[in-house]
Chain A
């Protein structure tokens, strides 16, 4: 009797939309909508992945694909295991990294437009990576360091130029667009400097492409993401505090500046690493977090959903990119831009998010 009374009182103070999960003495709140959305997205992603492995120049039956995945010898081992699987895994990881990276940067900037490909982080990562290629850093194992350094430098530049006694959202985005254009020019500068082979490689790479990528590119990205996983768990908790306005957060004793800096660094890091592996796959980092938030209707951008959506978008775009004009393969960035740009236009037309995010300046 009393237990159920306490339970119902607890339910009364619990924020709406959350359920309490108890495991022995541990208990935590789960946002019901977010949980359902994550499950649905996971199932959807799995289905697209299966289709990704089956379809191609040579159709492989789902049963055979599952055989290969479970390690039993099959005739499709080479096509599925060596050609499609590494590319799929890379696509999933790149998408997830863009999704979470975009979500964190958007959270810190409190602005859906501050996604890494609009404010120049992706372009910075591209510029330094192609610069390293051009000036003869041959080994692919060190290129990711250059990508991360490039992304960080770009973010620092935008922050430095946009800071003027505060970070005005409109100024931040406008300067980000400018820095992005300048860095894209730097990319072209390096391409003209490099020899023909590098130029050709770079040309495909700057659109964002999974063409011809294998385990060599996937493995370092996988280890990096695994190492960052604890940071992402921290970020999911810290995100909630960073969303308060400055006064509330200070009153609650949240180390606001440090938290924001940490979130921003992690976001830039993730977006840069993903760019280093597959090139700037445009608009994934803008789209995934925004769709995720609309799906779950939470106050903050849900990181798990963003990751799943990012992965889903990249893989679902790479499938037609591979098939549409076979045997020619389009860069996946062409398709994500073809979907993402209209979405950005819609955001502008709809106006509210642009206005809201810029403090009524737009």
Chain B
């Protein structure tokens, strides 16, 4: 009797989580289908399936295979990377507004890329992704050091301000470099806003090892993040090595952000909104939250990208612009609900 009453809520919880995860998978498949079908040329879902399964040489099949599939694959990877990074940053800073874009970490990676193109003569993604890692790492350490200095520790307000300051500083560095170096400007325009348009299949081929490495690092500290949520002292009491969790998680988040920015440019707010949605759905257990975020991040990015393709035809609005426009109302609602002001 008692065993049944204890286990049945637990079974119900697992059942609910599995159900929601299945729903998220369905949502992701729908988003992928949308991304393959919608654009300057609308292609019927039947034709999309046909092109994927049986090949075919029609013009629509060519568009799907050579343009939309790579774009969609990169979108899925970048969305998952940024959502995972945001979840971990929120976990290790114990702070609801952790987002690589808002905190200036993406901008740090972008500066790394610009410096690589301008001074080191590196022009391949596999080459400058390392510079992006270094840039993201330096920026994240700097922002966290600034925000956590002084009394009161790293509050949301101080993190957001430190992020705004570092963002402004890095943007001015980028602008200064770009104004004086026309060739770099031309190459960098590609990233500036954050977009997944025109990415080739090679990009996806080059980023997946880094993405996998980052995901493994992040998943390995899932239990540690759960303990951290209870506070440093409790986490220590539970036998977690707090410093290790923070360092491993931080490296994972830096790698994921660097990969995302190298492939698509600084795209903000996926890392902010998705973790909150994931936690609202499956609870606070990071072993569920992280996979959920990895499923929902691509949904948000692909849907933003699809909306960007159809709002201002024939031009396309970069996905980074749309994610910000969708994400900011989310931030405002959160601040108003007082989730943030503590």
Tell whether A pairs with B: yes
B216-257: contact bitstring with A at CB < 8 Å (1 yes, 0 no)? 000000000000000000000000000000000000000000
Q: Is B165 an interface residue (CB 8 A)?
A: yes
The answer to whether A188 and B193 touch (CB under 8 A), given A161-B332, A337-B169, A351-B149, is yes
A338-362: contact bitstring with B at CB < 8 Å (1 yes, 0 no)? 1011101100111100110010011
The answer to whether A113 and B161 touch (CB under 8 A), given A188-B318, A192-B315, is yes
Say whether A174 contacts B180, CB under 8 Å.
no
Residues of the B chain whose Cβ atoms lie less than 8 Å from the Cβ of A337: 168-169, 171-172
Q: Which of A171, A186, A328, A335 has the most CB of B within 10 A?
A: A171
Cα distance A113–B164 in the bound complex, in angstroms: 11
B258-293: contact bitstring with A at CB < 8 Å (1 yes, 0 no)? 000000000010000000000000000000000000
Residues of the B chain whose Cβ atoms lie less than 8 Å from the Cβ of A341: 165-166, 168-169, 172
The 8 Å CB contact of B312, one of A164, A180, A193, A358, is A193
Say whether A361 contacts B164, CB under 8 Å.
no
Q: Which of A192, A193, A358 has the most CB of B within 10 A?
A: A192
Say whether B341 contacts A170, CB under 8 Å.
yes
Say whether B171 contacts A182, CB under 8 Å.
no
Say whether B324 contacts A185, CB under 8 Å.
yes
Say whether B169 contacts A342, CB under 8 Å.
yes
The answer to whether A351 and B152 touch (CB under 8 A), given A161-B336, A164-B336, A177-B164, is yes
The answer to whether A351 and B315 touch (CB under 8 A), given A113-B161, A358-B157, is no
Say whether A174 contacts B171, CB under 8 Å.
no
Interface residue SS majority, chain A: helix
Say whether A349 contacts B179, CB under 8 Å.
no
Q: Which B residues between 26 and 46 are near A, CB-CB below 8 angstroms?
A: none
Residues of the B chain whose Cβ atoms lie less than 8 Å from the Cβ of A358: 157
Q: Is A207 an interface residue (CB 8 A)?
A: yes
Cα distance A207–B172 in the bound complex, in angstroms: 8
The 8 Å CB contact of B151, one of A325, A331, A351, is A351
Residues of the B chain whose Cβ atoms lie less than 8 Å from the Cβ of A333: 172, 175
The answer to whether A118 and B164 touch (CB under 8 A), given A178-B328, A334-B172, A362-B157, is yes
Q: Is A217 an interface residue (CB 8 A)?
A: no
Cα distance A333–B171 in the bound complex, in angstroms: 10
Residues of the B chain whose Cβ atoms lie less than 8 Å from the Cβ of A330: 175-176, 179-180
Q: Which residue of A lies closest to B167 (CB)?
A: A341
Q: Which A residues between 146 and 198 are near B, CB-CB below 8 angstroms?
A: 161, 164, 168, 170-171, 173-175, 177-182, 184-186, 188-189, 192-193
Q: Which B residues between 287 and 337 are near A, CB-CB below 8 angstroms?
A: 312, 315-318, 320-322, 324-325, 328-329, 331-332, 335-336
B144-156: contact bitstring with A at CB < 8 Å (1 yes, 0 no)? 0011011110011
Say whether A355 contacts B168, CB under 8 Å.
no
Q: Is A282 an interface residue (CB 8 A)?
A: yes
CB-defined A-B contacts under 8 Å, sample of 25: A170-B341, A171-B335, A171-B341, A173-B157, A173-B160, A174-B156, A174-B331, A175-B331, A175-B335, A178-B331, A178-B332, A178-B335, A185-B322, A188-B318, A189-B312, A189-B325, A325-B180, A333-B172, A342-B169, A349-B146, A351-B149, A351-B151, A351-B152, A354-B161, A362-B157
> B-side interface residues toward A, CB under 8 Å?
97, 102, 146-147, 149-152, 155-158, 160-162, 164-166, 168-169, 171-173, 175-176, 179-180, 193, 268, 312, 315-318, 320-322, 324-325, 328-329, 331-332, 335-336, 340-342
